[in-house]
Amino acid sequence: MEPPDGRIELSRRLVAPVRARAAPALVACGPGGEARPSGGEVYTVCDCGLVVEVLSGTTRHGAITVTRVRVK
């Protein structure tokens, strides 16, 4: 799903409890396609019905941290 403002932001690496919650849905989704935002870093796209809660912060670089995962 495209964000309302059209920007794509990548999160930091998921912490273990969040990875464990997301893993079954991501495995069931199968391999996704590759995409590249304007920053150039490659990421994998999948539409597997996950909704994530994120914490957006600013350090030297912007930081997006996934704090909670819910399966739709």
CA distance 45 to 34: 6
CA distance 32 to 29: 8
Query: According to the model, what pLDDT value does residue 3 have?
Result: 58
What are the two backbone dihedrals, phi and then psi, of residue 23, each rounded to the nearest 5 degrees? Answer: -55, -50
Strand partners, 64: 56
pLDDT at 2 over 60: no
Dihedral of the alpha carbons of 67, 19, 46, 48, in degrees to the nearest 10: -80
pLDDT in tens, 15-66: 898 888 888 888 888 888 888 776 677 777 888 888 888 887 766 767 788 8
Query: According to the model, what pLDDT value does residue 4 have?
Result: 60
Query: According to the model, what pLDDT value does residue 27 have?
Result: 86
